[in-house]
Amino acid sequence: MVRKLFDYIWGIIVHPRVTIDELAQLTSIRPAVMLVILVQLLGLLNLLLFILFDQDWLGTRRELPSPTFVGFFGRLPLGTENYVAIFFFVVGPLLALLGLVVVPGLAHILSKIWRGQGKFEQMVNTLTFVQVPSILVQSLLNDMVLAGIPANLLSGHPYAFTAAMNGEFGSFWSTLTWTYMIAIYIIGTGAWVITLGATAIQRIQRIPGWAAAVIMVFTYLLWFYGLVGTYVR
């Protein structure tokens, strides 16, 4: 089953339609659950690397006031000394569980407006795996490399990524970092996920492509910039 998990991850990148159709045939949501667990484990592995190298995982610690504010659009005060533990062991798992239900559930319900024919389980598996581009860019490339231990060690700075964004390495690196954040981290991965999600909704629910696109855009924005934004500053 583990090998199949990585087959789905690779497939959603190189053969998205074929992989979406294969995921849609499954009657169990086990692959989706396994992917969520994998992402959580990657996050913990990244945290462990920071601990082993005696560095601070919270790259924005210098910019955050203490207490900082999280949850419900910044209404809950939280001391920065507790932020990492709360994020990894409360907020992260909570959002992971909600993500398995909220995004597929909302897309499934909205599809009924156009008489969608798919099943909820199909939505769970496919709309979880369409997040793979986000996982590759944000969890692996960004969190574990560019904003992780490799960048800190190469630069000799304990907060290399935020330092680059703040111009501490010069205007060139600041411009490059901000360009990457806007063009790739936010817009690029967002467009990729939305495109895959719209494809999955259209193929599973058998609704018009434009309707699937509207549903995916609405669901994506509501989840990432609505619900997730209420918990993570």
Q: What is the pLDDT of residues 13-25, one digit of tens each?
A: 999 999 999 999 9
β-partners of residue 81 are none
Domain count along the chain: 1
* pTM exceeds 0.75: yes
Q: What is the pLDDT of residues 1-11, one digit of tens each?
A: 788 999 999 99
pLDDT at 89: 86
Domain that holds residue 90: 2-231
